[in-house]
Amino acid sequence: MPANSGSRSRLPFRLGLTAGALATGALFAMVFAPTFGRKSESEDINIFFHGFQDSRGVTVLSPTVDLTKDFTDRTSLKAKFGVDAISASSDSCARCHPDGIRSARAVASATLNRKYGDTTVGIGGEFSQENFYRATTLSTSVSRNLNKGNTTIAGGYAFSLNQPVLHPSEFTERQYAHDAYASVTQTLTKTTVVQVGVEVAQIRGYQTSPFLRAALNGVLVPGNSPDLRNRYTFSARIKQALPASTYLDIDYRRYHDSWQLDSNSFGIGLSRHFGDTIVASGAVRLYDQTGAYFYAPSYTGSPLYYTGDFRLFPFNSDLVTGRVVYTPKDGLFGMRPGSALTLQYERYWTTRSFDAAIFTGGITIPFGRKAP
Amino acid sequence: MPSSDRANPSRRAVFAVCLLAAVSGACASVQPWQRARLADPCMTFEANAALTAYASHWQESREGSSGGAGVQGGGCACK
């Protein structure tokens, strides 16, 4: 694949971007962790590094830093900064850039939560910028504990303004997304918790990928998708504590949208404690989706809508995940007790001859007076 | 084009959530001293939020569906 050679040639760029993001995270940790001394039950900083490599030769390196900080007993802040450094942005880019093309995405978000008795209200925002795409999101959320903490109801709303650039032209399109969700989490027994939720989203505006080409009358051309898409998601999860410090996690998601794309996602996982310091987990996810109603392998004549977007094709996929979390009693690498090392490996296959390997490594550092 | 029949599953889902919310107060109440195993991080849905967010991000860049994990920001890095 042409993208491979290009990806190797840009290693200094990727390492530079990654090193910069990791340095930012480390600086974040060094500067803030020692000074956050107020009482807290969940203040921590997560510094993770994700590596994604797929069968097209595309590599995405994504360092992220997440911070949770309590300012008072009732007010907390969650902040996130992340980068995607992309070695070669898919077959569509390789068509015009046979030696590969570097791409990057930076994302920053912050959410402020405040408690009012058993109710928590949150407000937040996120901004992401990549070479030819900008997204700005504002969100609100509310949750309330009921029934002596055995029931939690939650809801939220977000508005996003997405601005793709129709590369290679300089013209920018606009897309408006409204997204609302509601969920109920219920403790059923001393060992069982369930959660069900619904999410409804409406996306208006330009929704065609300018980079993915459809075969129309034998010629590869940019697609043309409808300007309105309504999306509906139902999800259900159950967590069951089993004997021998083992925990079962089952989840199901049903999705339907107004482009007639339907999908089912089923996941099952097990986690087990090994002593006081290690938690090992394994999970499997099975996924299937139908194609959008205007999907076809190729088009003839003058169809109103046509697409070359692989996300609108019918396919199945499997995902296998293995994870180990190591939390030494005396702290990790001299850090304070409660600090943990996470290592995760995932393997993803689809029926469209696409597969990927995803590696994640990271550390969690608690801080604050009540940190363990 | 979407038909009302295809939207019915989502209406049923909304109804199911409302019904669960309405009847959840009648569920057995687990007392604080009975919550030892429930307090384990493995029993928390948001225990691995950073990993979940990343998984949602790359899966949405490969698959046509999304949602089910709360509202999230945009941007895909998926060209």
pLDDT at A223: 93
Long-range contacts of A24-32 (CB under 8 A, 24+ apart): A24/A65, A24/A81, A25/A63, A25/A64, A25/A65, A25/A81, A28/A65, A28/A67, A28/A81, A29/A365, A32/A67, A32/A69, A32/A367
A273 vs B contacts (CB less than 8 Å): 42
Cβ of A358 within 8 Å of Cβ of B2? The answer is no
Give residue B22's pLDDT. 59
- Taking the CA of residue B4 and the nearest CA in chain A, the distance in Å comes to 10
> Tokens representing A42?
């969940």
ipTM of the complex: 0.84
Chain B residues whose CB is inside 8 A of the A244 CB are none
Task: List the single best residue of B6, B10, B19 to mutate versus A (max A Cβ within 10 A).
Answer: B10
The answer for B 24-53 residues in CB contact with A (under 8 A) is 24-25, 27-32, 34-35, 37-38, 40-43, 45, 49-51, 53
Q: Which residue has the tokens 């996810």?
A: A285
Nearest Cα residue in chain B from A196 = B17
**Which tokens belong to A21?**
């993001």
pLDDT at A15: 39
Query: In this complex, is the C-beta atom of B14 within 8 Å of any C-beta atom belonging to chain A?
Result: yes
User: Cα(A172)–Cα(A195) distance, rounded to whole angstroms?
Assistant: 40
Q: Is the pLDDT of residue B39 over 70?
A: yes
Give A237-250 pLDDT, tens digit per residue.
Answer: 999 999 999 999 99
Res. B29 pLDDT band, cuts 50 70 90: confident
A50 and B CB contact within 8 Å:
yes
Q: pLDDT value at position A32?
A: 43
Strands A103-116 and A75-86: antiparallel
Low-confidence spans in chain A with pLDDT less than 50: 1-19, 21-41
Residue of A nearest to B44 (CA): A239
Q: Which is more confident, B10 or A260?
A: A260
Residue from A285, A282, A371, A358 nearest A325 by CA: A282
Mean pLDDT of B3-13: 55
Q: What is the pLDDT of residue A87?
A: 76
Residue of B14, B27, B65 best to disrupt the A interface, most CBs of A under 10 A: B65
pLDDT mean across residues, chain B: 71
Question: Any chain A CB within 8 A of the CB of B22?
Answer: no
* Percent of chain A whose pLDDT exceeds 90: 70
Residues in chain B closer than 8 A to A127 (CB atoms): 73
Interface contact B7-A86, CB threshold 8 A: no
Interface with B, mutate which of A147, A245, A349 (most B CBs under 10 A): A147
